[in-house]
Amino acid sequence: MVNSVLLADDHALVRAGIRALIEGFGGFEVVAECGDGREALRLTRLHHPGIVVMDLSMPGLNGLDATARIAKDFPHTRVVVLSMHTAENYVLEVLRAGALGFVVKDAAVEELESALKSVARGERYLSPVISRMVLEDYMRRLRGQGGAEAGEPEALTPRQREILQLIAEGVSTREIARRLSLSIKTVESHRAQIQRRLNIHEVAGLTRYAIRIGLVGPDV
């Protein structure tokens, strides 16, 4: 049985390399690819792939929120996040969003193959560095040291993350409202809430924060 794969990464050369690797594993076929989160949702709806290999930093809609929507709307599609971002709270948020696998981009090729084969069987796969992080978080919670840090991704709602990403990408308030089918007043209200929650009140600071947690790449 050949497992269908959708590949979502905003760098064409990276996609080409990953596609060649995946199709060289045997048992997997890349049926579509794209460079942004909204297109990943559209192509998932169109192709119903068994697996989505998802980058986190993508324009328009980041991989975190795209993963959450796929997990909710397409429960038979399994998401493997492939990312260089390994900030602890962000990784945990990705897993809470419904990703079944998480592979760091500097991992060995064999890790990606193992991840795809594991999630194809319905099993979870985490890179060793991610597994240690999750275990350490679990142990902290057992000791009563859990809880989200202020200013980490879970401090924002999915809609607020979406708006923060667009702000960091330099999109105007009017254009954000148009893209998300919201009123300008609603966008401004979300922006004010974001600034209060993060205690960051200038665009440059919001952009640096969005880069740090992986909503956008460093080249925005």
Q: In order of start, what are the domains of the chain with their CATH numbers?
A: 3-140 (3.40.50.2300), 153-212 (1.10.10.10)
Q: How far is CA 109 from the centre of its chain?
A: 20
Q: How many residues does the chain have?
A: 220
Task: Specify the pLDDT at position 83.
Answer: 86
Structure tokens at 20: 């060649």
pTM for the complete prediction? 0.72
Q: In this structure, are residues 63 and 55 in contact, taking their beta carbons and an 8 Å threshold? A: yes
Task: Specify the pLDDT at position 149.
Answer: 46
Task: Encode pLDDT of 90-123 as tens digits.
Answer: 788 888 899 999 999 888 899 999 999 999 999 9
Say how far apart CA 167 and CA 173 lie, in whole Å: 8
- Choice between 79 and 151, residue whose per-residue pLDDT is larger: 79
In one-letter notation, the amino acid at residue 187 is: V
Nearest to 71 by CA among 30, 107, 124: 124
